[in-house]
Structure 1
Amino acid sequence: MGSMTDLPDPAAPGGSRVARGLGATARATRRAGSFTMRTAKRAAEAQGAGESGLSRLIQMHFFNTAGDAAVAIALAGTLFFTVPSGEARGQVALFLGLTMLPFAIVAPLIGPFLDRFAHGRRWAIGATMAIRAFLCWVLAGAVQTESTWLFPAALGVLVASKAYGVTRAAAVPRLLPQDFTLVKANGRVSMSGIVGVAVSGPIAGLASLAGPEWVLRYAFLLFVAATIAAVRLPPAVDSSAGEGDLVLRGDARGKRTGSMRIPPAVAYALRANCGPRWLSGFLIMFMAFQLRENPIDGWSTEVLTALVVGGAAAGNLLGVVAASVLKRINPAVTVTAILLVDVGVVVFAFVLYGVVALALLGLVAGLGQALAKFSLDATIQRDVPHRVQASAFARSDTTLQLAWVIGGFVGIAMPIDPPRLGLGVAVAVLAAWAGFVLTRTPRRTRPEVQTGS
């Protein structure tokens, strides 16, 4: 072991250069971080988003998606790859089934319940964050000890994440800046989520070198920050002044003044969206087990899973970018085309099962899900009066979350032998649903709606 004299002397010329270099690096890093934060803040507050409070929702969504990305990375090598396949399938199916029923019953009641209590929405959004923070801490211990709490805690994180989508949907219309469309606002919120994944992914990857429990502790901190951001949302989030309900039947008795029946074009777009959302849930659950038990020759399970999931993430990013770039779209045509393309790409993957086909399937599924959702948002913004748009978004997000859960449950229930069987079932389900949707095409559709600024 060297003595103290072996250490560089800061007073010496070489030591002075090292000290100056370290100081310059620290100052440059601090300036770069400050510049990045200022730039991100300016972008979030641009065009009146700061004054309306939308910027706070954007910042909260950043932490939300950053936390979800960290959880996904932590569990990628734990939830499905360290437990025997049969046991994993049984436990995931059990807990997903147990959580689906209460979610289906409670979700439609969230909006009306919160409308009757001050500060309800902010605390409801915050609760979805706080629950995930607590469960991430539980998961960190369960991963280390291989506790039986691993699966229920992981499924609890998943359900809380889906519940967040429902509660957030009702908040966005209340924070719109002047001359903002709902589609534009949702697009900006989605972009903050993409940035959150891009920033958090590498950090979580580095933390995973120390073990998945450290990634989950990092996710815990992110969800704590998101909880604080949710509680600090503007009071306008809790206001329901002048709003009504969007009802599914003609009888609006017992509803608030201004309630109206769901427009046919919105109902059609919502039904069409259920197909891509069902496919998303199905692929995540089915491929997680399928690629583990039946990997394609020459490819590891982890790489194959990354290709499919990465393709879906890339497709989702392309969908957000496309929706931001396109000035006008025809929502009815778009959602119909996406539903039919999804059927076609699943047929392609079924016939030419392989790495390229599965990666393409993930890419198209992610792209279609994003574009279909933006088309639904555009239809709601066009056809639903402002006073009931919050109710419309809450109902649509609830329906889509349930479609995702049902798709995931079907994906878990599918046998993995032969490998193409599950994809064949997906083809049959999507084709049948497409036929059902197309037979209920609205009698007249308006040509185009504006999606950008």
Structure 2
Amino acid sequence: MEENDRPGPPGPDPPPSPFPESDTRGSRLHRARRISEGAGRLIARGSSSAFLGARRFTHSGGAGESGLARLLELHVFNTAGDAAVAVSLAGTLFFTVPTEQASSQVALFLVLTMLPFAIVAPLIGPFLDRFRRGRRWAIGTTLAVRAFCCWVLASAVVEESATFYLAALGVLVSSKAYGVTRAAAVPRLLPAEFTLVKANSRISLTGTAAAAISAPLAVGAAAIGAPWALRYAAVLFVIGTILAILLPARVDSSAGEEQVDIAGRRHGITVSRDVVNALRSNAGLRLLTGFLTIFMAFVLREPPDSMGWGGNATVLMALVIGAAGLGNILGVVIGNWAKSHRPERVVLAVLVLDVAVLVVAAVLFKWPIAVVLGLTAGLCQSLGKLSLDALIQRDVGEEVRTSMFARSETLLQLSWVIGGLLGIGLFTLDVSAPLGMVITAVILLGWASFVMARAIKGPTPAPGPVTQ
């Protein structure tokens, strides 16, 4: 071996690393564990704060002591379940089929929704009046029926068979029956410092928040498969059923109540002209909302070039729907304003405003105007309903107030369905969006003129005994 090839004397060992490989891995694991624990604590703290904030909201103003808070908690699960059903049905009935087929399906759906109310409307109020001592069970039944129907829908949603339509019909009818039974229970749970308008405003805000939280969860479940969104809704309705049964016993009290027909006459009782005008105004508002919901949904699937929208159609639809939701929230937030500023005038003003904006949207049919129309429709419907509630509270005696609420809810639902059928009819006839809105505006303008003429016909009669 050559001398140069011989290994030299061993050099000094390299200094030990201050961060050995095993220690580095341990440090990384330790940091990751600390980050995950911190994130977990942050999420838990945020969830706890949100829960406590929501609980303070539902229990404030004496709502916890009166039992109204329990009804609010029940309404959370009801609205969250309805939002999940809406997400699932929108994906199966509307967006996944061609426009022509979707229009026929939605038309059939609306007809099936309207027929039970057209037949049962004269009977549902008297039935609930006779069932007053079991309101908790009546509310619970509307939720239990929806839970069962949603579970059936989850199995039938793929083929959309006759079973699918029957189950969907059961969901819609029981959902509207819930609105009637819940309205009948609210006056029994009012805190001493609450008005009926304030209670309904809080119920609406609670439901809106629940729907906003539940809808994305339902979309996530629907991404796995449409049946999973319906199963999610069924679970929510089961929880709501249990909460309904646990409502305070005073919900079942019927002391001092009597029956009243839709004309407001029975047992020597009459309803003021202001209440009648408010019902008529709200019927017009609901007809317009039903029309816009169905007609604009079809139009915005493929926005016409005249709207000036060059983006994704789904984004535009989300903007219009979001504006309507925002308008509804604004109406709820300022609901007490309607109570203190002559609700009989507010309810007429919002009807005129709705028609005026509809005319502007028909003439200037651009996408920003469509967003403004959605905002206005949501705001006017919300203020109109709260004004109606205020007038019923002011002018209708407690002994018949519950029955009046039941009949008003039925009337408003029928008006919404008629508006939806009008939208289906105009779209099926291939009427352009501006012309369709002009036709609807003419109808509503005639209706508003009739309501205004009746409103200024003479002094409002005071509620009291009917003189024959």
Asked if structure 2 preserves the Cα contact closer than 8 Å seen for 1:126 and 1:226, the reply is yes
* TM-superposed deviation, 1:203: 2.4
In 2, the alpha carbon distance for the partners of 1:364 and 1:178 equals: 33
* TM-superposed deviation, 1:250: 7.5
Of the three residues 280, 287, 298, the one matched with 1:271 is 280
1:268-302, Cα deviation, whole Å (9 max, x unpaired): 11111111111111111112222235544524332
Moved more, 430-439 or 68-77: 68-77
Matched, 1:370 2:377: no
Asked if structure 1 preserves the Cα contact closer than 8 Å seen for 2:282 and 2:384, the reply is yes
Counterpart in the other structure of 1:379: 391
1:58-82, Cα deviation, whole Å (9 max, x unpaired): 1111112212222223333332121
Residues 393 and 444 (structure 1), Cα distance of their counterparts in 2 relative to 1, 3 Å cut: same
Counterpart in the other structure of 1:358: 370
In 2, the alpha carbon distance for the partners of 1:41 and 1:440 equals: 44
Residues 147 and 102 (structure 1), Cα distance of their counterparts in 2 relative to 1, 3 Å cut: closer
Residues 203 and 312 (structure 1), Cα distance of their counterparts in 2 relative to 1, 3 Å cut: same
Residues 381 and 361 (structure 1), Cα distance of their counterparts in 2 relative to 1, 3 Å cut: same
Asked if structure 2 preserves the Cα contact closer than 8 Å seen for 1:274 and 1:403, the reply is yes
Moved more, 73-82 or 338-347: 73-82
Percentage of pairs with the same residue: 54
Counterpart in the other structure of 1:46: 60
Counterpart in the other structure of 1:286: 295
CA RMSD of aligned residues (A): 2.6
Matched, 1:444 2:453: no
In 2, the alpha carbon distance for the partners of 1:267 and 1:273 equals: 10
Q: Which amino acid aligns with 1:358?
A: A
Residues 10 and 353 (structure 1), Cα distance of their counterparts in 2 relative to 1, 3 Å cut: same
Counterpart in the other structure of 1:449: none
Asked if structure 1 preserves the Cα contact closer than 8 Å seen for 2:114 and 2:417, the reply is yes
Counterpart in the other structure of 1:418: 432
1:216-267, Cα deviation, whole Å (9 max, x unpaired): 2222222222222222222222221111233345862xx5xxx612221111
Of the three residues 304, 321, 342, the one matched with 1:309 is 321
Residues 248 and 22 (structure 1), Cα distance of their counterparts in 2 relative to 1, 3 Å cut: closer
* TM-superposed deviation, 1:113: 1.6
* TM-superposed deviation, 1:11: 9.8
Structure 2 residues not aligned, in runs of 5+: 1-21, 462-468
* TM-superposed deviation, 1:85: 2.4
SS in 2 for 1:277: helix
SS in 1 for 2:320: helix
* TM-superposed deviation, 1:162: 2.4
In 1, the alpha carbon distance for the partners of 2:345 and 2:337 equals: 18
Matched, 1:104 2:118: yes
In 2, the alpha carbon distance for the partners of 1:155 and 1:117 equals: 23
In 1, the alpha carbon distance for the partners of 2:223 and 2:108 equals: 31
Matched, 1:173 2:187: yes
Residues 103 and 417 (structure 1), Cα distance of their counterparts in 2 relative to 1, 3 Å cut: same
SS in 1 for 2:224: coil
In 2, the alpha carbon distance for the partners of 1:151 and 1:9 equals: 64
Residues 440 and 345 (structure 1), Cα distance of their counterparts in 2 relative to 1, 3 Å cut: same
Q: Which amino acid aligns with 1:244?
A: E
In 2, the alpha carbon distance for the partners of 1:264 and 1:435 equals: 16
Structure 1 residues not aligned, in runs of 5+: 1-7, 447-453
Matched, 1:161 2:161: no
Asked if structure 2 preserves the Cα contact closer than 8 Å seen for 1:96 and 1:155, the reply is no
Q: Which amino acid aligns with 1:402?
A: L
Moved more, 242-251 or 332-341: 242-251
Give me the TM-score of the superposition, normalised by structure 1: 0.88
* TM-superposed deviation, 1:401: 1.3
* TM-superposed deviation, 1:149: 4.5
Counterpart in the other structure of 2:8: none
In 2, the alpha carbon distance for the partners of 1:306 and 1:403 equals: 25
In 1, the alpha carbon distance for the partners of 2:367 and 2:247 equals: 44
Alignment of 1:220-231 (within 5 A): 220-231=234-245
Of the three residues 95, 111, 114, the one matched with 2:128 is 114
Q: Which has the larger radius of gyration?
A: 2
Asked if structure 1 preserves the Cα contact closer than 8 Å seen for 2:135 and 2:181, the reply is yes
Asked if structure 2 preserves the Cα contact closer than 8 Å seen for 1:288 and 1:305, the reply is yes
Give me the TM-score of the superposition, normalised by structure 2: 0.85
Residues 294 and 382 (structure 1), Cα distance of their counterparts in 2 relative to 1, 3 Å cut: same
Of the three residues 136, 154, 160, the one matched with 2:150 is 136
Matched, 1:397 2:409: yes
Residues 117 and 272 (structure 1), Cα distance of their counterparts in 2 relative to 1, 3 Å cut: closer
Q: Which amino acid aligns with 1:278?
A: L
Residues 170 and 19 (structure 1), Cα distance of their counterparts in 2 relative to 1, 3 Å cut: same
Q: Which amino acid aligns with 2:412?
A: L
Residues 429 and 94 (structure 1), Cα distance of their counterparts in 2 relative to 1, 3 Å cut: same
1:10-57, Cα deviation, whole Å (9 max, x unpaired): 993332333343334333333332332222222211122112111111
In 2, the alpha carbon distance for the partners of 1:10 and 1:73 equals: 49
In 1, the alpha carbon distance for the partners of 2:380 and 2:40 equals: 44
In 1, the alpha carbon distance for the partners of 2:359 and 2:224 equals: 42
In 1, the alpha carbon distance for the partners of 2:322 and 2:108 equals: 27
Residues 161 and 341 (structure 1), Cα distance of their counterparts in 2 relative to 1, 3 Å cut: same
Q: Which amino acid aligns with 1:262?
A: V
In 1, the alpha carbon distance for the partners of 2:348 and 2:386 equals: 13
Of the three residues 85, 102, 108, the one matched with 1:71 is 85
